Amino acid sequence: MSGLPAETDRFTAELDAAVEAHMNWTRRILRCAVVRSTPGDDVLDPQAHALCHFGNWFMANRGQFEMLDAAAAGRVDAVHQAMHDAIRSICTRVMQGQPGSEADLETFEQSQGELIGLLARFKTLILSKAVQLDPLTQLPLRYGIENDFRLYQKEARRNRTQLYVAIIDVDHFKPINDTYGHPVGDRVLQQLAATLKAALRADEPLYRYGGEEFLWLLKCKSGAEARQSARRLLATVGTTPVPIDDEETLRLTVTLGLALAGEQEDLASVIKRADLALYEGKAAGRNRYVIAEG
């Protein structure tokens, strides 16, 4: 047992397997250089970097890499392609009975070394991020919100879309703890976290913000879409029973405070406005959403 979330274990295992596959790929290159056997069409193809096991896996998971470090993710793509281009050039010349180019060999060695270094750094980032997960809900804690917010804010500016910060608070949570005890309260939070996560799009982060509060980064095209998403979330929570034991279930409601992030606004300012909207929703009777003005 690693003590890490299963999702992290699986991702790092896939990363290790993809890197190992690339290391095995170099054996075919060595055979080509020594005995002039063909390394295979996948190596000689101009799109070899997209055909190899690592290339396929990386492109399928690129979004996760970009969330950790967008610039480094772009660099992984670039050096991986440079490595393949250099090897294709070397193998083509060898197959034609010519010596490989020293410049191509240097490019291959440099790009392979940089790729391995980048992937080692990403593995460290992935493992570091894993220990910042809330052990109860398996949601990320608030430590990574600032970086994610900046990335999504830039994306919204680039795509001319909108980014909302939403604070989600469980209604009447203290009576649940007082009536059923804290172990049941913990199960309620676990169930709610799973319900919220299942209701949101994969590219909309959800965080355990503290106590019975969650924070949601909502990407949308308009205020109308943000209101529709908030209504859908309220309905999903309200219609999903939470089992207490074999015979009893609870019905939960939540209150949402939302604030539209300005193009240059800092996260603290947006959260403050979302909090004020949340308090307004609580004062108005709970089980509703309020969008901050301005």
Q: Which active-site residues does the annotation give?
A: 212
Listed in sequence order, the residues at least 6 apart from 199 whose beta carbon sits closer than 8 Å to its beta carbon are: 232, 233, 236, 237
Task: Tell me phi and psi for residue 37, to 5 degrees.
Answer: -85, 150
Asked whether the beta carbons of 163 and 260 are under 8 A apart, the reply is yes
Residue with tokens 């943000």: 226
Long-range contacts of the stretch 81-87 (C-beta < 8 A, 24+): 81/49, 82/107, 82/111, 83/49, 83/107, 83/108, 83/111, 83/112, 83/115, 84/43, 84/48, 84/49, 84/52, 84/55, 85/49, 86/111, 87/29, 87/39, 87/43, 87/48
Local structure of residue 139 (DSSP, 8 states) = -
Distance (Å) of CA 67 to CA 146, 189, 278, 286: 12, 26, 28, 33
Determine contact, residues 279/167, Cβ cutoff 8 Å. no
237 and 269 Cβ atoms separated by less than 8 Å: no
